[in-house]
Chains A and B, each alone.
Chain A
């Protein structure tokens, strides 16, 4: 197993800018989800991709978007960054569904100034 890897580990952006976060899923996992974890809180579901199609979305505005690629990598894009977007962004992968649990990456710490 290769695990889930995310890049970069840390990032500082200015309000109004755009950012792309990257994730490489565990080999064989066809489902990837992204979560936002604000400081001192539990992760909040952003969206999920299954076989390159978005199949679920949490309570996040359209400026949060994503892509999943055939090689199991994925991206989270955030446009028009706001100060409240500062958080740890976690990528998680699984095979087919979340019923048996996800494998999480170490996350990208985004700071918006």
Chain B
């Protein structure tokens, strides 16, 4: 079956630091890959996505590249802000399936 593994948190950073959250996946088909973000007390917001190998998703300074050879979709941001403090979820969707499979989430705290 499909599964997603992402690095455990929590991650605490200073403002303007570089952020990386690792994500690897297992899928039977050719999945789409997503990063969702959840701010305190809120639902999930789609941060970025990639639908095929070597695609790069980007949004709000965040980037992730779909690496089929390493089955990875690591999230990066070059200079984080306090407002980036949230829980980040990596997820996949297989075209032969009907659901999103999520990782456990990584809590990121950015200190001023």
Contacts and interface: CB of A to CB of B under 8 A. Distances in A.
Interface size class of A (residues with CB under 8 A): 20 to 34
A44 B46 CA distance: 17
A100 B32 CA distance: 7
Given A100-B49, A101-B32, A58 B99 contact: yes
Nearest to B31: A99
B43 A106 contact: yes
Given A48-B99, A104-B45, A42 B93 contact: no
Interface string B75-112: 00000000000000101010101111111110000000
22 contacts: A33-B99, A33-B100, A42-B103, A42-B104, A43-B89, A45-B99, A45-B100, A48-B99, A56-B99, A88-B43, A90-B44, A92-B100, A97-B98, A99-B95, A101-B32, A101-B34, A101-B46, A101-B49, A102-B100, A104-B36, A104-B45, A107-B43
B51 interface: yes
**What DSSP secondary structure best describes chain B's contact surface?**
strand
Contacts, number: 70
B42 interface: yes
B108 to A, nearest CB: 14
Nearest to B49: A101
A79 interface: no
Contacts of B32: 98-101
B44 to A, nearest CB: 4
Contact of A104 (B4, B43, B49, B95): B43
The 7 A-B residue pairs with the shortest CB-CB distance in the complex, in nearest-first order: A42-B102, A56-B98, A45-B99, A106-B43, A104-B44, A98-B93, A104-B43
A43 B51 CA distance: 21
